[in-house]
C-alpha cells in the first residue's frame, strides 16, 4: 500500500485500526532488530524504535530506516553494536548518534537527548537525557513522538500521537512556541508533514510558525533545502506550500513564490498567477509516469520547475496603453531568479541547471499553432530541450490552465501535433543526438586546419545546415563546406 493510498483517509482512521496496522508491520521486523534489542536489554540498557518508522507502521508502511534511541551513552552504544556483530561508524557521535550495519541491515542509535539552538547559532546544542518519555517530549510532533520498545514491542505514547494521527492533526508534544524555539527547522517540518501526510495543522502550530518564521534564518541552507525537497516530492505538496505562504515561512525560504500573490489584479486583466502556479503544479504531478515511464513520479525537477515557471512575472508585469497586461521575457528573468534561489539553498549544480532551463524554455511552444513550424524549428526545439524534452512536454501541457474549452482543445491539438512531428523526425534522424555530417577531425583535414576557433566556426556552420535541412551525407556536406570556406571547386 502506498503512502498516498494510506494518507487519503488518515483523518478518518481510528486509533485501534492504526494500532492493528502497526502490530502486523512489526511482526515482520527483521530478526536482527529483535536480536539487537536483546543485546541492549541483557547489558541493562533500554532500546526503542522511534519516530518515522513507528508512525509509518501505523499507516501499514514497512520501515526501511531504523531509527533507534537508548539510554546508553555513545561509547557504550558503539560497543554493544560491535557485540551484535555490526560494522560501526561514529560520524554523528557529537550529536549522540552511532551507526551500524549487520548483513543488509543499517541502524542508527541515538542516546536520549534534548537539543536547542543558542541565540545566533546555526548548530544545535546537544544534552543527553535519561528517560524515553523525556526523549519523546523533545521530538518535533506528537505523531513522531511514539516509540516501540525492543525486544518486547511495547508502545510508548505519552503525548497521544497515535490518536492525533487517527484524527489527522499535527501537534507538538510541548507548546509549539517552545518546540520551534528549541529547533526552528521544525517550522519547515510542519509544512513538510502537512504535504507528506495530508494532515491538518493545529492552530497552535500555525500561530507559532507565523511568530517564529524569521528564526529559520539561523538554520543552515542545506537543512532547509532538504525539508523543501521532501515537501515537494510528497503526495500533497500544495498543502505544504499554501501553509508556508499563509504563515510567512515562504517569505523566508522561497520569497519568489510567495511574491506571486502580488500579481493579483483586482480588475481581472490577467489570471491570478499564484493560483495558476499551484494548478500547474497539480497538473504536472498528474503527468508523472510510473517507474517504466520517462518521468517517474515523484520527480523533484518536474515539480519544482512547475512551481518556479512564472516567478519572473512580478518583475516584468507591465500595464499596456490598450489596457492589457504583459510579462515580456518573464521566462528568462524567471530562469535567472530560479538559478539564484537554488544556489542560495545549496542545490546541486545539475538539478539547478535543469530546473532553470525548464523555466527558461517553458514558453518555447507558444505560437506553434498560430504558424506552422518548419522541420528546422522542430529540430531546434528538441535540441534546446536536450535530455529535458519529456519534462518540457509536461511543463508545457501543465501550463495550459485556461477555462476556455475551445482554446484548451486548440492548444492540446497543437501540442499533440508537435509531439507527432518530433516522433516522426526522431525516427528519421535519431534526433536525440544531432551532429553535423562531418566531425572535427574531418573538418580539419578537409580545410587544412589545426585545432582552434576556425574549426568551431566550421562545425557550427555544418550544424546549422543539419538543423535546417536534415542529414546531408558527408559528400554533400563537404561540398557545401568548401563553398562556405571559399575553396575553389
CA angle 338, 344, 349 (to 5 degrees): 70
- Whole-angstrom distance, CA of residue 117 vs CA of residue 183: 6
Bigger pLDDT: 468 or 278?
278
Picking from 153, 122, 124, the residue whose alpha carbon sits closest to that of residue 140 is 124
CB count within 10 Å of CB 326 equals 13
Domain segments of the chain: what residues? Answer: 1-167, 175-253, 271-433, 440-485
CA angle 63, 68, 73 (to 5 degrees): 165
Residue 479 CA: distances (Å) to CA of 38, 438, 442, 474, 487: 81, 11, 13, 9, 9
Query: Is-contact 215 176, C-beta < 8 A?
Result: no
Picking from 73, 129, 84, the residue whose alpha carbon sits closest to that of residue 106 is 84
Rounded to an integer, the average pLDDT of 48-59 is 93
- Whole-angstrom distance, CA of residue 63 vs CA of residue 66: 7
Looking at residue 122, its pLDDT comes to: 53
DSSP string, 334-347: HHHHHHHHHHHTT-
Rounded to an integer, the average pLDDT of 39-59 is 95
Q: In what helix (H) or strand (E) does residue 114 lie, and over which residues does it extend?
A: strand 113-117
453 Cβ contact list (under 8 Å, min separation 6): none
Looking at residue 307, its pLDDT comes to: 98
Q: Is the pLDDT of residue 77 over 60?
A: yes
Q: Is the pLDDT of residue 422 over 50?
A: yes
Looking at residue 431, its pLDDT comes to: 58
Helix, strand or coil for residue 421? helix
* Residue 151 binned pLDDT confidence (cut-offs 50, 70, 90): very high
Looking at residue 472, its pLDDT comes to: 87
Please report, to the nearest 10 degrees, the dihedral formed by the alpha carbons of residues 290, 294, 296, 301 taken in order. -160
Looking at residue 334, its pLDDT comes to: 96
Picking from 320, 355, 319, 349, the residue whose alpha carbon sits closest to that of residue 336 is 355
| Tens-place pLDDT, residues 450-483 | 888 899 899 988 988 888 888 888 999 898 988 8
Terminal-residue alpha carbon distance, the chain: 71
Looking at residue 99, its pLDDT comes to: 94
Cell representation of residue 97: 548518534
- Whole-angstrom distance, CA of residue 54 vs CA of residue 145: 9
Does the domain formed by 175-253 have CATH 2.60.120.10?
A: no
Q: Is the pLDDT of residue 269 over 60?
A: no
- Looking up cell 520551534, which residue turns up? 180
Q: Is the pLDDT of residue 381 over 50?
A: yes
Rounded to an integer, the average pLDDT of 258-275 is 74
| Tens-place pLDDT, residues 290-349 | 999 999 999 999 999 999 999 999 888 887 777 777 788 899 999 999 999 999 999 999
Cell representation of residue 254: 522561497
Please report, to the nearest 10 degrees, the dihedral formed by the alpha carbons of residues 476, 479, 485, 489 taken in order. -170
- Which of 114-123, 132-141, 197-206, 213-222 comes out lowest in average pLDDT? 114-123
Does the domain formed by 1-167 have CATH 3.30.460.10?
A: yes
Cell representation of residue 396: 508545457
Q: Is the pLDDT of residue 112 over 90?
A: yes
| Tens-place pLDDT, residues 26-36 | 888 999 999 99
**What value does the mean pLDDT of the chain take?**
88
Structure pTM?
A: 0.80
Looking at residue 8, its pLDDT comes to: 32
The fraction of the chain above a pLDDT of 70, given in percent, is: 90
Alpha helices in 95-173 (DSSP H): 132-137, 161-167
Residue 48 forms beta bridges with which residues? 69, 149
DSSP string, 65-106: SEEEEESS-HHHHHHHHHHHT-EEE-TTGGGTEEEEEETTEE
The fraction of the chain above a pLDDT of 90, given in percent, is: 58
Looking at residue 9, its pLDDT comes to: 39
* Residue 264 binned pLDDT confidence (cut-offs 50, 70, 90): low
- Which of 127-131, 254-258, 322-326 comes out lowest in average pLDDT? 322-326
- Whole-angstrom distance, CA of residue 409 vs CA of residue 206: 41
Taking the CA atoms of the chain, what radius of gyration do you get in angstroms? 28
Looking at residue 379, its pLDDT comes to: 86
Looking at residue 487, its pLDDT comes to: 67
Query: Is-contact 126 113, C-beta < 8 A?
Result: yes
Q: Is the pLDDT of residue 265 over 60?
A: no
- Which of 10-19, 179-188, 240-249 comes out lowest in average pLDDT? 10-19
Q: Is the pLDDT of residue 186 over 80?
A: yes
Looking at residue 275, its pLDDT comes to: 93
Looking at residue 227, its pLDDT comes to: 98
433 class by beta-carbon count within 10 Å (0-12 exposed, 13-18 middle, 19+ buried): exposed
CB count within 10 Å of CB 358 equals 26
Please report, to the nearest 10 degrees, the dihedral formed by the alpha carbons of residues 239, 244, 246, 247 taken in order. 140
Q: Is the pLDDT of residue 5 over 50?
A: no
Amino acid at each position: 500500500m502506498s503512502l498516498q493510498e494510506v494518507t487519503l483517509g488518515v483523518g478518518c482512521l481510528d486509533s485501534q485500526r492504526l494500532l492493528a496496522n502497526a502490530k502486523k508491520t512489526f511482526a515482520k521486523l527483521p530478526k536482527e532488530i529483535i536480536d539487537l534489542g536483546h543485546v541492549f536489554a541483557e547489558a541493562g540498557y533500554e532500546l526503542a524504535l522511534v519516530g518515522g518508522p513507528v508512525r509509518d507502521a501505523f499507516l501499514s508502511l514497512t520501515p526501511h530506516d531504523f531509527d533507534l534511541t537508548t539510554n546508553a551513552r555513545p561509547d557504550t552504544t558503539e560497543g554493544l553494536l560491535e557485540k551484535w556483530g555490526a560494522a560501526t561508524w561514529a560520524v554523528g557521535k557529537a550529536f549522540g548518534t552511532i551507526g551500524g550495519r549487520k548483513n543488509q541491515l543499517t541502524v542508527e542509535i541515538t542516546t536520549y537527548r534534548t537539543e536547542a539552538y543558542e541565540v545566533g547559532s546555526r548548530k544545535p546544542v546537544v544534552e543527553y537525557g535519561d528517560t524515553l518519555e523525556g526523549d519523546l517530549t523533545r521530538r518535533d510532533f506528537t505523531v513522531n513522538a511514539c516509540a516501540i520498545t525492543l525486544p518486547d514491542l511495547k508502545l510508548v505514547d505519552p503525548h497521544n500521537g497515535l490518536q492525533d494521527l487517527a484524527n489527522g492533526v499535527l501537534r507538538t508534544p510541548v507548546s509549539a512556541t517552545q518546540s520551534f524555539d528549541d529547533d526552528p527547522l521544525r517550522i519547515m517540518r510542519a509544512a513538510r508533514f502537512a504535504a507528506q501526510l495530508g494532515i491538518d495543522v493545529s492552530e497552535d502550530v500555525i500561530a507559532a510558525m507565523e511568530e517564529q518564521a524569521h528564526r529559520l534564518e539561523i538554520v543552515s541552507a542545506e537543512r532547509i533545502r532538504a525539508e523543501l525537497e521532501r515537501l515537494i516530492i510528497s503526495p500533497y505538496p500544495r498543502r505544504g506550500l499554501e501553509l508556508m505562504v499563509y504563515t510567512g515561512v515562504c517569505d523566508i525560504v522561497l520569497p519568489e513564490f510567495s511574491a506571486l500573490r502580488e500579481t493579483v489584479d483586482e480588475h481581472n486583466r490577467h489570471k491570478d498567477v499564484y493560483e495558476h502556479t499551484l494548478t500547474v503544479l497539480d497538473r504536472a504531478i498528474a503527468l508523472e509516469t510510473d517507474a517504466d515511464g520517462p518521468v517517474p513520479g515523484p520527480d523533484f525537477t518536474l515539480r519544482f520547475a512547475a512551481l518556479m515557471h512564472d516567478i519572473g512575472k512580478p518583475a516584468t508585469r507591465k500595464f499596456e496603453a490598450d489596457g492589457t497586461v504583459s510579462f515580456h521575457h518573464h521566462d528568462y528573468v524567471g530562469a535567472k531568479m530560479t538559478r539564484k534561489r537554488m544556489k542560495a539553498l545549496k542545490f546541486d549544480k545539475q538539478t539547478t541547471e535543469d530546473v532553470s532551463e525548464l523555466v527558461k524554455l517553458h514558453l518555447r511552444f507558444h505560437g506553434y499553432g498560430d504558424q506552422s513550424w518548419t522541420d528546422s524549428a522542430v529540430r531546434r526545439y528538441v535540441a534546446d530541450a536536450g535530455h529535458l524534452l519529456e519534462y518540457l512536454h509536461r511543463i508545457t501541457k501543465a501550463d495550459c490552465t485556461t477555462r476556455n474549452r475551445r482554446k484548451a482543445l486548440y492548444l492540446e491539438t497543437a501540442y499533440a501535433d508537435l509531439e507527432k512531428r518530433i516522433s516522426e523526425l526522431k525516427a528519421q534522424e535519431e534526433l536525440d543526438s544531432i551532429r553535423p555530417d562531418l566531425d572535427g577531425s574531418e573538418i580539419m583535414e578537409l580545410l587544412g586546419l589545426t585545432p582552434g576557433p576556425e574549426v568551431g566556426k566550421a562545425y557550427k556552420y555544418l550544424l546549422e545546415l543539419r538543423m535546417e535541412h536534415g542529414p546531408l551525407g558527408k559528400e554533400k556536406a563537404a561540398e557545401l563546406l568548401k563553398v562556405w570556406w571559399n575553396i575553389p571547386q
